[in-house]
Amino acid sequence: MKKRGQAAMEFLMTYGWAILAAIIVVGVLWYLIGNPANLVGNNFQISAPLVANAMALNTSDIQLEIRNGAAETITVTSIVVGSCSSSPDTAVSAGSLQAFSVNCSQNSGDRVNYDVTISYTTSGSSVTQQATGSVSGRVP
By percentage, how much of the chain surpasses pLDDT 70?
Answer: 94
Q: Are 26 and 47 in contact (CB under 8 A)?
A: no
Tell me which amino acid residue 31 is: Y
Q: In the prediction, which pLDDT does 12 show?
A: 82
For 28-77, the DSSP string reads HHHHHH--GGGGS--EEEE-TTEEEEEEEE-SSEEEEEEEE-SSS-EEEE
pLDDT given at position 42: 87
Instruction: Dump pLDDT digits (tens) for 46-76.
Output: 999 999 999 999 999 999 999 999 999 999 9
Q: What is the mean pLDDT of residues 89-94?
A: 94
**Mean pLDDT for the stretch of residues 94-121:** 94
Amino acid at 135: V
